[in-house]
């Protein structure tokens, strides 16, 4: 009864009701999360962070921070509080926000051309339904390449990255040659800054294709899953030693096109989880200066072999932490070696800049940063979208290359997806302290949870990013002297 009466009598209270504030300031938007029993992390809209004693966020909100508290200048200079309702340096804050979101300035920059589904490997985690080497009917047509290129040049982006994928794209080398030559020719008028990448299993190199890749400054990205037993188990090739072939390919390509033009990516399968140290050491032994500890995407054809490919996300987190610790020790011994995902996050946490990594953006990288022209002329919102399509799920199909640019990029599907691609407005993310470092991934959540928005408490995407970001803050606080020089070196190069 008392409660009901209180509710009926609820009215705005006077300023005096709340007592005198210890400090006279106004709150700016920020979020917070516990770091340990004694500390918490505050993060504002532009990704500025402060590690403070537990309870500080509450004290700030209740205006209980004393005027002479040494934290006050930090809170003001880093835009957590302001002396005036609108901070005097609001323009600086606006510039910082624009800088953090500047990956949006130029719209789609990464254009993936899937040249063929043909492949000479049969990896059990392969995301697409590859076909045998002789099935040329699964190659992209010259006409569809032309149409894709025409769309690409309509992008307002000054920088264009063209990535060739498969299957094994070098099996359709004539198409790759044709596309690169046409793009280079047309670019004499468009004058864009071009980067070419070919994603290859490195087992079909020859003098002709490598000479061409060198002449056109094409970066080579290959797959190396770690030591021989692991790589061969993950990436089998009928009757042949896949590990030896890829190493021969890497060394051959390095000799022909230059050491730094060749990079490698690993995929973490269930088998990989027990070998983070061995995988990292293998990359070191093979002359790489970096590794991307990359979980498997739990959809597409990876689902065909759940025992080998699908695992608990917590296990991946343990794998990552163990691996990162090993990498820190390697750097402490004087060998520069970077974990790429960590470096991406550190750039977001420690600098005012954004990154071009499309899987960790808000608004999401799909369409805004990346689009896929598939071998059959269909256009998808991302690489993962076409993986779903290979399982007959066309949810992220944007159209066909023969459709107009407007209908593909600004059509009904794009508009529908745009409702779910900003973590600022997703339940769970909207009040998450790590929002400005993380991203939104409607494709992942649709594939793993059945809807574009997703459910954060059981989302593998959230578990991974929340776990990794928190771990990085722990390292930067509890092992500051040890890790900070290493982390700074990773983002300064």
Contact residues for ligand SF4, defined by CB under 6 A: 423, 428-429, 432, 434-435, 438, 456, 461-462, 465-466
**How does strand 49-53 pair with strand 39-44?**
antiparallel
Minimal distance in Å, beta carbon 466 to ligand SF4? 4
Compute the least distance from the CB of residue 473 to ligand SF4, in Å.
12
CB of 388 to ligand SF4, least distance (A): 20
Q: Nearer Cβ to ligand SF4, position 261 or 425? A: 425
Q: Report CA dihedral (462, 304, 447, 224) to the nearest 10 degrees.
A: 50
Do 347 and 491 meet the contact criterion of CB atoms below 8 Å apart?
A: yes
Residue 105 or 431: the one with the smaller Cβ distance to ligand SF4 is 431
Cα–Cα distance, 223 to 165 (Å, whole number):
12
Distance of CA 47 to the CA centre of its chain: 17
To the nearest whole angstrom, how small is the minimum distance from the Cβ of residue 461 to ligand SF4? 6
Please identify, using beta-carbon distances, which residue of 414 and 435 lies nearer to ligand SF4.
435
DSSP secondary-structure letter at 296? Answer: P
Q: How far is CA 1 from CA 8, 9, 10, 12, in A?
A: 11, 13, 14, 21
Q: Please, which residue, 144 or 453, has the CB nearer to ligand SF4?
A: 453
The secondary structure of 6-27 as a DSSP string is HHHT--PPPGGGG---SS--EE
Q: Supply the minimum distance, in Å, between the C-beta of residue 449 and ligand SF4.
A: 12
- The separation between CA 152 and the C-alpha centre of its own chain, rounded to angstroms, equals 22
Alpha helices in 101-162 (DSSP H): 142-154
Q: Which is nearer to ligand SF4, 31 or 326 (CB)?
A: 31
Number of neighbours of residue 85 by Cβ within 10 angstroms: 8
Decide whether 248 or 425 has the Cβ nearer to ligand SF4.
425
Smallest distance from ligand SF4 to CB 134, Å: 44
Minimum CB distance to ligand SF4 smaller for 338 or for 429: 429
Q: Please, are residues 464 and 313 in contact by the beta-carbon 8 Å criterion?
A: yes
Smallest separation, CB 357 to ligand SF4 (Å): 14
| 168 within 8 A of 223, measured Cβ to Cβ | no
């Amino acid at each position: 009864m008392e409660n009901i009466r209180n509710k009926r009598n609820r009215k705005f209270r006077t300023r005096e009701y709340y007592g005198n504030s210890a400090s006279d300031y106004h709150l700016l938007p920020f979020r917070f999360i516990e770091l340990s029993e004694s500390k918490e992390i505050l993060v504002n809209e532009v990704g500025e962070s402060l590690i403070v004693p537990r309870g500080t966020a509450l004290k700030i909100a209740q205006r209980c921070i004393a005027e002479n508290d040494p934290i006050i200048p930090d809170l003001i200079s880093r835009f957590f509080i302001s002396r005036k309702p609108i901070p005097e340096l609001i323009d600086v804050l606006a510039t910082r926000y624009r800088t953090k979101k500047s990956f949006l300035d130029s719209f789609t920059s990464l254009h993936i051309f899937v040249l063929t589904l043909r492949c000479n490997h049969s990896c059990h985690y392969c995301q697409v339904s590859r076909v045998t080497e002789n099935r040329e009917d699964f190659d992209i047509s010259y006409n569809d390449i032309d149409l894709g290129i025409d769309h690409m040049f309509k992008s307002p982006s000054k920088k264009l990255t063209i990535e060739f994928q498969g299957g094994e794209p070098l099996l359709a080398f004539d198409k790759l040659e044709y596309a690169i030559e046409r793009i280079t020719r047309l670019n004499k008028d468009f004058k864009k800054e071009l980067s070419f990448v070919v994603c290859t299993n490195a087992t079909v190199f020859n003098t002709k294709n490598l000479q061409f890749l060198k002449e056109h400054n094409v970066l080579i990205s290959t797959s190396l899953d770690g030591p021989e037993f692991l790589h061969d188990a993950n990436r089998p090739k009928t009757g042949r030693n896949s590990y030896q072939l890829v190493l021969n390919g890497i060394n051959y390509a390095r000799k022909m096109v230059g050491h730094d033009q060749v990079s490698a990516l690993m995929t973490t399968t269930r088998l990989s989880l027990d070998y983070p140290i061995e995988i990292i050491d293998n990359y070191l032994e093979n002359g790489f200066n970096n590794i991307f500890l990359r979980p498997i995407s739990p959809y597409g054809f990876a689902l065909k072999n759940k025992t080998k490919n699908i695992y608990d996300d917590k296990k991946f987190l343990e794998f990552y932490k163990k691996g990162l610790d090993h990498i820190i020790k390697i750097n402490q011994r004087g060998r520069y070696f970077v974990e790429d995902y960590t470096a991406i996050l550190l750039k977001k946490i420690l600098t005012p800049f954004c990154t071009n990594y499309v899987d960790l953006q808000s608004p999401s990288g799909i369409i805004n940063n990346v689009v896929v022209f598939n071998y059959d002329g269909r256009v998808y919102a991302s690489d993962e979208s076409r993986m779903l399509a290979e399982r007959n799920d066309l949810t992220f199909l944007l159209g066909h290359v023969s459709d107009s640019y407007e209908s593909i990029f600004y059509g009904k599907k794009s508009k529908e997806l745009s409702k779910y691609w900003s973590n600022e407005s997703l339940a769970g993310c909207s009040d998450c302290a790590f929002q400005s470092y993380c991203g939104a991934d409607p494709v992942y959540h649709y594939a793993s949870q059945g809807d574009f928005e997703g459910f954060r408490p059981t989302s593998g995407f959230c578990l991974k990013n929340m776990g990794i970001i928190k771990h990085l803050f722990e390292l930067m606080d509890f092992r500051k002297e040890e890790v900070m020089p290493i982390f700074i070196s990773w983002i300064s190069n």
